[in-house]
Amino acid sequence: MKIGILSDTHDLLRPEVIDALQGCDNILHGGDISSQRILDRLEKIAPVKAVRGNNDGEWAEHLPMFLDFELGGLHIYMTHRKKDLPGDLTA
């Protein structure tokens, strides 16, 4: 399984990023996306899981502040800001 991980795109997906994500089975976006347009473009490549960043405005209210899930046998906890990590997070 190939997982693409990115964040802080701020409404810009460079061609090099699009090329690097080709062939991914899943894409994780860690926030500061800036517009739905970015998520829509990423969804054309692979299924996307995304969290809201501190610069994502009203458009992103549907996105969670954190996600806690399993993917390919890995337990993943995803949030934009380090200070939002729970104190009891363990490996």
pLDDT per residue over 40-87, tens digit each?
999 999 999 999 999 999 999 999 999 999 999 999 999 998 887 887
pLDDT at 90 exceeding the cut of 60: no
What are the extents of the domains in the chain? Answer: 3-84
CATH architecture assigned to 3-84:
4-Layer Sandwich (3.60)
Residues 40 and 19: beta-carbon distance below 8 Å: no
Residues 1-15 have a mean pLDDT of 96
Residues 28 and 78: beta-carbon distance below 8 Å: yes
Neighbours of 90 (CB within 10 A): 4
pLDDT at 1 exceeding the cut of 80: yes
pLDDT at 88 exceeding the cut of 80: no
Rounded Cα gap, residues 74 and 71, in angstroms: 5
